[in-house]
Amino acid sequence: MAFGALALHPQLLSRLSTLNFIQATDIQAQAIPVILSGKDVMAGAQTGTGKTAAFCLPILHQLLIQQEQSQKELSQQDCHELSNGRAQNKLAKALILTPTRELAQQVHQNLSLLIGDSAIDAALIYGGVSTQAQKAQLTAGVDIIVATPGRLLDLLRQRATSLAAVDYFVIDEADRMLDMGFRDEIIEVLKRLPKQRQTLLFSATLDDSVFSFSKRLLTQAKVIEAHARNQTAVTVTERVYHVDAKRKCDLLCRLIQAEKWQQVLIFSRTKQDADLLVKQMSQRGVKVAAFHADLSQSVREQVLTDFKNEQLTALVATDVAARGIDISQLNYVVNMELPFKQEDYVHRIGRTGRAGQAGQAITFLSVDDEPLLIKLEAYLDKRLPQQWYPGFEPDLSQIAPVTRKTKKGSLKQQARQKALAQSSKR
């Protein structure tokens, strides 16, 4: 569907044309009309499908309409006062909450592109940096706040701003927000918002926790899913290599060299494992860096910049840190091991195959992870292609530890019950 068919403000359509955005993605075509109608929305969309614009465009449309109406109502005296800077500072009309600093930066960057040279102001609020510039921006008055929960609450407690005028409240990456333990912070933010507002919840997965928590946020919400639940992007080719745990790093470096990978995002379960892998890969001559929460904000930003500029071949990240990484043409994602949560596998490989482009997701499977593969395949309702890499064949004498909870039948039943419970909410 063309953006021109979505009844957006002419200024936005002109800006989209300038940016060469002509056709709306599936989530944009479904969500924008519903949001413009004023309904609450709970939307499930994979990373890279254009969900940021799906909620930013209708909010900007409404704000532009409100600005035009306000300008008509202003008297000449009011306009004179505004031109001299004596008008009352404006309070934010929209609040967008994100779980991580990197995701906040990503949303703000995309929002700024869509705003262009219009009179709408957007503030970026996150922790790890000085509060002074953020306070000054809020005091001057903004239309939209893009924030992480912790820093936003800090500034609210310091009375740096108020949420009393917010008409549009967005929770982006809601599933990750809950996974990271921001439930109490979101509730605290809710207490400071007007009861009469439009709430938009966007999530890569719509699982039990998201549905349960949404009852506190949404009123008669329209549920929109731009893809089949629990499914990975069709543009991503998935490969699983059986390999002994101690040989994973060697196989990874071999693939990087043999297949001439220019950029690869590698997932590790823990920060300690990420640092160790970076050390091992560096010793083998790979330009690599770690990306996790133990690094300072300035270091994380520099590492991400170096990776985007192809000064690094590989980036080793944890699940939480990688959630804000947005690289439009990332061709390879590697799982050093399967995540304990099946939803995280969908999030991980969603870093590649973005916006319809082809990508490859490669998983190294040691014997200890075989029970997790059984659960993952039941969750995805498909078999993942498994193979050996010549020269790295696994030691077949190793046997996966089996307990009552990790028996194949039990694992499949657990995953199947979870998938059925989610599908029943559709």
Q: What are phi and psi of 151, to 5 degrees?
A: -65, -35
Q: Which fold has domain 236-421?
A: Rossmann fold (3.40.50)
Q: What are phi and psi of 343, to 5 degrees?
A: -60, -35
pLDDT for res 300 = 85
Q: Are 169 and 35 in contact (CB under 8 A)?
A: no
pLDDT for res 199 = 97
pLDDT averaged over 10-residue windows placed end to end, the chain, 426 residues: 89 93 91 96 82 95 91 62 51 94 90 93 92 92 95 94 96 86 92 96 83 88 76 78 95 95 92 94 95 85 88 89 69 93 84 75 93 90 92 83 53 54 50
Distance separating alpha carbons of residues 121 and 144, to the nearest angstrom: 6
pLDDT for res 82 = 47
pLDDT for res 180 = 78
From residue 271, give the alpha-carbon distance in Å to each of 125, 328, 344: 25, 25, 16
pLDDT for res 388 = 94
Cβ neighbours, 10 Å, residue 114: 20
Q: By three-state DSSP, how is residue 359 classified?
A: strand
The alpha carbon of 44 is separated from its chain's Cα centroid by a whole number of angstroms, namely 11
Q: Which fold has domain 3-225?
A: Rossmann fold (3.40.50)
Token digits of residue 155: 């500034």
pTM above 0.75, yes or no: no
Query: If you count them, how many residues does the chain have?
Result: 426
Strand partners, 239: 362
Distance separating alpha carbons of residues 359 and 234, to the nearest angstrom: 10
Domain with CATH 3.40.50.300 in the chain: 3-225, 236-421
pLDDT for res 395 = 87
Distance separating alpha carbons of residues 129 and 135, to the nearest angstrom: 12
Distance separating alpha carbons of residues 415 and 417, to the nearest angstrom: 5
